[in-house]
Every structure is written in structure tokens, then in C-alpha cells.
Amino acid sequence: MKQRHITFSVFGNLRALFLLLSETHKSSPILCKTEVFVRRTMAASPGYDVPIISFKDERVVEHLFSEFFPAEIVEEKGEDISRQEFQKLLEQMSYPPVYSTLRVNTHTHDIDQIKGDVENKLEEAESDHRFEVKKHPVLIDTLIVKSLSMAGDDFQPRSKIEVIIDPYCGSAVLHGANIFGRGVIGLSKGASQGDQVSIYVDLAGKCRRGFKEQYQKEKAFIANGILETSRQELFEGHQNTSGVAVRIKETFISNPSLSGLLPKKVFAQKIPSITCSHVLNPQPGECVLDMCAAPGGKTTHIATLMGNEGLVVALEKAKNKVRIIKKNARTLNLKIIKAFHKNAVNAVAPGAPEPSAQGRPPYKSGSFDRVLLDAPCSGTGQRAQIRCVNQVGFVKSFPSYQRSLFHKAVEAVKPGGTIVYSTCSLTTSENEAIVVWALKTFPEIKLEEQTPRLGKPGIRCHGLTDDQANKLQRFWPSSSLASNIEANCDNDTIGFFIAKFVKDMPPPLATPPSGYTFLLLPPWLHPFPGYTLFLPSWLTSFLGYTLPWLL
């Protein structure tokens, strides 16, 4: 059995072993297996090690290295330093942020009042832990919640009763979530409601639902909790598994459970996502399109920034997720959001009507003041990541779809309007490469400076200039738990990317001399393409009458 709760002193030996082995393989163009799998754990505090992200498809590792450190960067930094920084980045990705963030529904509530409400609620619900709640110094609608409780030397399994969960559920637990019934894969036989349990993540991916023995495959201990149900309710018959199955009492970092916390007043959202809507800067009375809207965090933020005045059209291609958007809009009392089950590649069409409170997509081209394209992506910036089960083909599959969506974003926005493109990915092919392609494909758009600016510049790669890279925002995951850096709420967060574009206004038409008028001709019939054609008014009238018949 490979059980991951190694002591700090043992980790030190593992680290030395890794450094020795990686020194031997400096010239290798591929990360060696030892480098990927020996560094599975890293000490967060004395006595406990966080499981470092592992990969089902080892080809993903080398692909991510080439994406995070493109050829231009490797040439500048050198292969050895690039590999070391890549390994550190994987470590950062394996840790949850120390900070939790709440966006206040400022449309209906005052942030100072809500700050006090959040402090009181956390004190009631999390009596065993202490938290500090502060207002963000730049984002005027954001509260920062920091845990003041860390695991001590005695953080270890408290019970022989095991709960086995998958890596996705494990990531949620590290963020402070309780475990719902659907997240439980295995539970020791004889377990009863009210029992203390120890929670493990299945790293091997071999546990089958309903497993009841002690799990002997590779696993990682991450938390202790109280069982709120029984084996029979979880695995037998058709019992309801939507409720809380395990209430978490102890993890190595005590992030608060934000589920159901003041639902009409706050929305749990990451700093980069909140920044993204502020960069879009929607104004009251405007018409805004959110192309890939689920679960509605940015959609509701946009409507809030608009003061609930205007129209926000939210499109989502997954039908069940549209219900979530509508529910969030109702909960936050935002009435200007119209959510539709629609793939955004079909958002606009020739001859379609302009957007309205009653109209359904598709819409007329050039109808929206602002467009947010928070594109579907590989999600490589998410934290905490325990195991990546994706194949390399899946990770590579997103840029073509992102380009298709961007085509529609440019088509949908008005001249003079704004497009914000964002992902929660770290790969350059989904970010900087998309920007370079967009600027070459659409000469009518240009990059715009971003406000607020909390992230770092983009990577100068794929032909991106320094000036262009400086107009982008990249949030790199940085954890003070994984290194000695001084992390703060703006950099101890998920990986994220933001680019802002403005569509040029058409050039003003020249004023014709007295007695002359414009002659508008299709490009293929124009005798001097690129020039405005003035003709005497009588001739323009004559041609305007006869040309349709001749054509």
C-alpha cells in the first residue's frame, strides 16, 4: 500500500533524491518518470505532505512544459532553469489557495455591512477555526477571507474508518467544501452516522463505488470529518445522495466552507474572475453578451456592475447549466439577465433581430456594446490539482473551438465596443497564441490596456511584442505553502488569463462637394476600390435607378 502522509524528515530525503536524479537527467528533453512520480508529496507543515499532482498520461507533462515554457522562454532562461521552474509550478498547482474570496452583491447590499455579517456567520459555523475578513484594496466589491488556522504536527488520520473520494472531490475538500453523497466512492463497512472518519483521495483510480474494505492502492490522506449518513443510504437502493455525506472538521489548511453562506448577499468567486468583469467595465443601460456563461458568476457580476439596468444575454450550450445561471440571477435579484440554451458559435446570424428582453438568439451582427468570451479551456490553472486524468489530445483540443467562438465575438460586438477574452488555463496556445491569431485575423480590433491590473504581463511568445504582452494579464498560481515566497490574495489564486480588445469605429465618410453625392457600389463592381466615389447628384440618381435592373 502506498499511503501519502510521510513525515517531514522523510520528505527531505526524497527531495535530495529528486535533485540528485534530476541533475543526472539535465540533458534529457523529456521529464524523467522519477521527476514526475517521486515528487508526489511535499511538506505543507511538519508532519504532513500534500499530494503533488500526478498524471495518468505522461505525455501531458511534456506538453505542459512546452506550453508553460515555450521555445522563446527556454532559450532566454536555459533548459535547466526552465525545468526547475516548471517543477515548482506543478507544486504550486497542487496546493489550494490560502485565501477565499467573496464578491458582494453591491446592487442590493453595502460591503461594510456584509463584511460584519460574514464574520458573524463564519464564527457561528466554524467555531473550531479562526478567520480574518478584509476588504480588497482595489476591487471595491470583494471580501478576502484568510484562514488563521493551520495543521500542526499532529495532523494525521483520526479514525480507522476510511472514506475514499476521487481527485476532483479531493480538490473541493482542500478548498473548504464538505463531501456530498455523490463524491463518496468507498466507505469502511460498519460505519454509522456520527462516526469520525478519515478521508483519502484515490490516486490510483482503481477504487469502485461501494468499496468497503481498507483501500490498499495508492491514496493520499487529506482530511478528517464526521459521517452524516450511512453505507446503506449511500450505496444501496435509490437513496438520495445529494446531501452532505461527510462534514469536514480538519484539513491541513482550514479554508471555510462557503456553500450556502449568505446566498442573497455574496457569491464565492476567485480574484481573477472578479477582475475579469471589472476589466470588461459594463455600464448601466448597455447590451452585453456573455458567450459561455455557466455557472453565472461573471454574468451576475456584469449585471451588478450595470446597476441592474440594461440587458445581459447569457448563452450556455449545456442545458442543465442554464438552470443554474437563472437560479443564481433570481437569488441575487438581478432581473436584466436573459439566459438561453445556445452554443455561442450560433450567437449571431444574417437577418436576425437585435437583442431585446423578449428576443431569443441568434441576434443581428454588431448588436452588443460589450462581449465577454470566458472560453471553454483545458483548466490547467485550477487549484488544487491532485491528479490529471486527461489525455494529451484533450488538452490540445481547445484552441480551434476558442478561435471559432472568437470569430462570433468580433461579429457580435458593435464598432467601438469591447471584447474581453479569458481562460482559466496556463497554456500559451489557449492564451497568447489566440491573441496573436486574433490581431492578424481581425484588423478591425486592437489590444487595450486593462484596469484594474492585478496580474502579471503575458508571455512574450508566438510573435507577441513586449507592448502587446504588457497589455495582457496572467495570474500565475503562487502558494506561500509551497515555497518561501510572500504570497498575497492577488497571486495566491488560480491560474488565469485576460485579454481586452476594442473594435475600431468605421472611418467617417468624407463630405461630398455641393451638387455631388456618394455612389455606393459592391466591392467587385467598384472601379477604384478603397476610394470614395462622388458623382453628380443627377447621375447618382439615374444609376441608383438603373443599376438594380442591370445587375
The distance in angstroms from the start CA to the end CA of the chain is 81
Instruction: Please report the sign of the dihedral spanned by the C-alpha atoms of residue 37, residue 481, residue 74, residue 458.
Output: positive
Note whether 334 and 308 are within 8 A (CB).
yes
Q: Tell whether 303 is in a known binding site.
A: no
Note whether 301 and 277 are within 8 A (CB).
yes
List the grid coordinates of 171.
480538490
Q: Tell whether 293 is in a known binding site.
A: yes
Distance of CA 106 to the CA centre of its chain: 23
Note whether 166 and 184 are within 8 A (CB).
no
Q: Using alpha carbons only, what angle is made at residue 172 by residues 264 and 209, rounded to the nearest 5 degrees?
A: 120
Convert 329-367 into a string of H (helix), E (strand) and C (coil): HHHCCCCCEEEEECCHHHCECCCCCCCCCCCCCCECCCC
Note whether 200 and 164 are within 8 A (CB).
yes
Nearest to 142 by CA among 475, 490, 455, 476: 490
- For 333, residues 6+ apart whose C-beta sits below 8 A from its C-beta are 105, 107, 108, 264, 308
Which secondary structure element, helix H or strand E, spans residue 437, and what is its range? helix 432-441
Report d(CA 45, CA 480) in Å as an integer.
11
Q: Tell whether 504 is in a known binding site.
A: no
Which secondary structure element, helix H or strand E, spans residue 146, and what is its range? strand 142-147
At 380, is the secondary structure helix, strand, or coil?
A: coil
Q: Using alpha carbons only, what angle is made at residue 104 by residues 102 and 105, rounded to the nearest 5 degrees?
A: 140
What residues act catalytically?
424
List the grid coordinates of 19.
535533485
Q: Using alpha carbons only, what angle is made at residue 324 by residues 319 and 327, rounded to the nearest 5 degrees?
A: 130
What does the DSSP 8-state code read for residue 263?
T
Nearest to 49 by CA among 17, 16, 83, 95: 95
Q: Tell whether 316 is in a known binding site.
A: yes
Distance of CA 429 to the CA centre of its chain: 16
Q: Tell whether 295 is in a known binding site.
A: yes
Which secondary structure element, helix H or strand E, spans residue 416, and what is its range? strand 413-423
List the grid coordinates of 131.
478567520
Report d(CA 72, CA 78) in Å as an integer.
10
**Within a 10 A sphere around the Cβ of 302, how many other Cβ atoms?**
29
- Report the binding-site residues: 292-298, 316, 374
- Report the binding-site residues for S-adenosyl-L-methionine: 292-298, 316, 374
